[in-house]
Structure 1
Amino acid sequence: MRILHTSDWHIGRTFHGHPTLDALRGVLDALVAQVREHAVDVVIVAGDVFDSAAPSAACYPLLSQTLAALADTGARVVATSGNHDSAARLGFQSALLREEITVVTDPTTIGTPVTLTDEHGPVHVYGIPYLEPAIVRHLWSGVELRSQAQTMAHALELVRADLAERGGRSIVAAHCFAAGVEATPGVEREIRQGGLDVVPLSAFDGPDYVALGHIHGRQQLSDRVRYAGAPLHYSFGEAGKPRGSWLVELGATGLSSVEWLELPVPRPLVTLRGRLDDLLDDQRFDGHDEHWVRAEYTDATPQPDPMRRLQTRFPWCATVVHLPHETLPDDGAGYARRVRAARDDAEVIDAFLVHVREGEGASDAERSLIREVLDARAVAEARA
């Protein structure tokens, strides 16, 4: 039996203020084509289907069209809710969906699998929605559930107990932060508190394969426990990291093989660094006009209107950061000392410019303008 493991679609997410729905639609179309090409039996979407608990109206057609297209390939689809999703909104139509599509959002269904059969017997797919301990602990009396680790461990105990009675092979889909993963700063919403909510790898013992969601880059924690990551890049920290999904094959006795299937990257990410004039004119930065660009300009002082100027060369420049290449060494003359040593207002202003510009004072033109303003103020005060 073949299983495609994907996650973290984040339908509705923006990239530095730019909508991503059209790009995601193209990538999900490619994923549907892979499902058809590889004759996949089950598609697992391991949480964070939407990016928000209250997605816009435009997000719902993309989800419904993609789920229907996956089902039309002949595959069974099992999707779970993640920490970004509203379980109520994601699951409210689940009873009306085609029988080939199952959306798991109800914690009380943990331990009740979707069961498929191949020539080797049954395969049980257990969906575990994102579990917030404070919200779900009342569902299981007598069980201490104060952390993600405890809550996920209890969910897996329910799975193992059910599997022991049913027998056969099994897949688990869950959304959590597992021990040993490398997160991308600023990308995955924090669902840990002081490290207590990291789920240990041992919690996932038992199933033949565990399809995890929440981390946006592909990661392999063991042969049978993996993250597929998000189908799009949502941060410049993810630049160069592959996008795709895991194609998992179960044989007669369990996990047989796992293969990575690449997905297209609609617009690659690149970080360009140099003086602003070089970023605007230097030929070494050619070829990035269709990339998402993070520009880091290294001029000693902030430059006027850098985003507008950079977008004339890089239309998809999404962020600009001023990172001076050199900073003024500490000569022992701090800002307050320079101000005290100033002989007139013009020198006070120059001391301020030296301070905020990392060592560069007023230019000749600026000195002339400063002097003109100060002289005009002196005349006005004399007349008062």
Structure 2
Amino acid sequence: MRFIHTSDWQLGKPFGRAPEQARAALLEARLDAIDALAAAARREGAGFVLVAGDVFDSPEPGDRIYRQALTRMKAASDIRWVLLPGNHDPARADGLWSRLASEAPDTVIVCLEPLPIELAEGYWLLPAPLQYKRTQDDPTAWFDHAETPDGAKRIGLAHGPIRDFGSSTAAANLIAPDRARRAALGYLALGDWHGRREIDALTHYSGTPEPDDFDREVSGVALRVDLAGETPDVVQVGIGRYHWMSESWSVASGGELDGLLANLAPGIERQHLVLRLRLSGLLTLAERVALRDRLESELAHEVRWLDLNLDDLYARPTDADLADIDASGVLRVAAERLQALSATEDAAGRRAVAALERLYVEQRRADRLEAR
């Protein structure tokens, strides 16, 4: 018995902080992950794809997301898909899941009840569908007493956190960390944790197949699980298109940018990079303006999405910088006043730096227009 374990597709996730074009691309990539999972199943010789909850980002994902998901699974008719409601898309009465159960082809198994399902001869699935977003009960508790034929290999499918994650607040949908042992499972496929994590040899989180945030543990993967032996053989399989990275660079001069950009994310194509970039340091005003312009006009268009923060990159104007701002007159007076205010490290100082930079940029723009 060989299958693909995946979870947390969260189809329809809005990515509200991203620019419009990036939002559309990231949303589409999550749908494309269905095709990538089908390809991985064929490549790995797996007949089933088990989705451990949060197939959709909400109980009302919209008609396009719903139709795209169903159409893509239908197209992969050589694969059997097993879908479980999670906390983002709980199985409300007469809602999304009822519709899916009535419209899905035979190759799509929709788990709406906590009842054993025979996947193949000798292999039984114990699903734990969530009816509500939050519950204080362990959704897998029934596994311990579930009746399956003697000698059957039991596979658990559930969505929720494990106790040893160390949360300081009471978690909902809490799953006992030793559930696989208690319920005599051959494997427990879990969702909810967006990074790939092994709890023990029998219990695994697959993580989301398409990364969805910065600083995650390993994500963008699925797990190929083989139950032929005494213990499951679990292999990580790459699925995701985009790579989410966080970088913090300290710069002492504008000239350092070339080297930093040259060594950014080796082996990853820029169009597949979602980058959170934080810069710190102290530059001249001209250097800071030139650096920002290069990042916003070049790098931001090379990567899928650049989340840029220059709050800790300070500018200390030189005499040459100030000379470029109205050598005499009211603008020069304003620039000198802003320069004095920018010497402080408080909020007022940061606002003064931003205002001085804006004044510098506008003056240079005006100079270029006059020179035409």
**TM-score of the two chains, using structure 2 as the length reference:** 0.70
> Cα 1:131–1:90, aligned 2, differ >3 Å: closer, same or farther?
closer
Bigger drift between 350-359 and 221-230 goes to 350-359
Equivalence for 1:90: 97
1:220 aligns with 2:220: no
For residues 57 and 286 of structure 1, the distance between their equivalents in structure 2, rounded to whole angstroms, comes to 43
Equivalence for 1:128: 128
Contact 1:32 1:69 in 2 (8 A): no
Equivalence for 2:241: 265
**Helix, strand or coil: the match of 1:170?**
strand
For residues 361 and 168 of structure 1, the distance between their equivalents in structure 2, rounded to whole angstroms, comes to 68
How far residue 44 of structure 1 moved from its aligned partner, in angstroms, is 0.4
For residues 143-154 of structure 1, the aligned pairs below 5 Å read: 147=136, 151-152=137-138
1:76 aligns with 2:61: no
How far residue 92 of structure 1 moved from its aligned partner, in angstroms, is 2.0
Bigger drift between 254-263 and 76-85 goes to 254-263
Paired residue type of 1:250: L
Deviation string, structure 1 residues 123-162 (Cα, Å, up to 9, x no partner): 111221235487xxxxxxxxxxx62xxx11xx43423322
Equivalence for 2:177: 201
Contact 1:350 1:361 in 2 (8 A): no
Equivalence for 2:321: none
For residues 203 and 149 of structure 2, the distance between their equivalents in structure 1, rounded to whole angstroms, comes to 23
How far residue 31 of structure 1 moved from its aligned partner, in angstroms, is 1.7
For residues 41-52 of structure 1, the aligned pairs below 5 Å read: 41-52=47-58
Paired residue type of 2:175: V
Equivalence for 2:267: none
Equivalence for 1:234: 212
Equivalence for 1:251: 228
For residues 1-384 of structure 1, the aligned pairs below 5 Å read: 1-15=1-15, 16-17=17-18, 18-19=23-24, 20-70=26-76, 72-73=77-78, 75-87=79-91, 88-104=95-111, 106=112, 109-110=113-114, 112-118=115-121, 122-132=122-132, 147=136, 151-152=137-138, 155-163=139-147, 168-181=152-165, 194-197=169-172, 198-204=174-180, 205-206=182-183, 207-238=185-216, 241-251=218-228, 255-267=231-243, 269-275=245-251, 278=254, 281-286=257-262, 289-290=270-271, 291-299=273-281, 310-314=295-299, 315=301, 316=303, 317-324=305-312, 353-355=342-344, 356=346
Contact 2:3 2:50 in 1 (8 A): yes
For residues 335 and 208 of structure 2, the distance between their equivalents in structure 1, rounded to whole angstroms, comes to 55
Contact 1:126 1:171 in 2 (8 A): yes
Unaligned runs of 5+ in 2: 265-269, 315-333, 360-372
For residues 52 and 361 of structure 1, the distance between their equivalents in structure 2, rounded to whole angstroms, comes to 40
For residues 313 and 65 of structure 1, the distance between their equivalents in structure 2, rounded to whole angstroms, comes to 38
How far residue 79 of structure 1 moved from its aligned partner, in angstroms, is 0.8
How far residue 36 of structure 1 moved from its aligned partner, in angstroms, is 1.2
Paired residue type of 1:179: R
Contact 1:181 1:221 in 2 (8 A): no
Cα RMSD over matched residues?
Answer: 3.8
Report the identity percentage: 22
Paired residue type of 2:53: G
How far residue 296 of structure 1 moved from its aligned partner, in angstroms, is 0.8
Unaligned runs of 5+ in 1: 135-145, 183-191, 327-344, 370-384
Contact 2:90 2:131 in 1 (8 A): no
> What is the total number of aligned residue pairs between the two structures?
313
Deviation string, structure 1 residues 156-179 (Cα, Å, up to 9, x no partner): 342332235665111111110112
Contact 1:9 1:48 in 2 (8 A): yes
Paired residue type of 2:196: R
How far residue 47 of structure 1 moved from its aligned partner, in angstroms, is 0.8
> Cα 1:63–1:287, aligned 2, differ >3 Å: closer, same or farther?
farther
For residues 219 and 157 of structure 2, the distance between their equivalents in structure 1, rounded to whole angstroms, comes to 21
How far residue 310 of structure 1 moved from its aligned partner, in angstroms, is 2.2
Instruction: Compare CA radii of gyration and give the structure with the larger one.
Output: 1
Paired residue type of 1:33: A
Paired residue type of 1:297: L
**Helix, strand or coil: the match of 1:298?**
strand
For residues 253 and 129 of structure 2, the distance between their equivalents in structure 1, rounded to whole angstroms, comes to 51
> Cα 1:95–1:352, aligned 2, differ >3 Å: closer, same or farther?
same
> Cα 1:31–1:347, aligned 2, differ >3 Å: closer, same or farther?
closer
For residues 361 and 219 of structure 1, the distance between their equivalents in structure 2, rounded to whole angstroms, comes to 43
For residues 262 and 227 of structure 2, the distance between their equivalents in structure 1, rounded to whole angstroms, comes to 47
Paired residue type of 2:215: G
> Cα 1:8–1:216, aligned 2, differ >3 Å: closer, same or farther?
same
How far residue 217 of structure 1 moved from its aligned partner, in angstroms, is 0.9
Paired residue type of 1:211: A
Paired residue type of 2:170: G
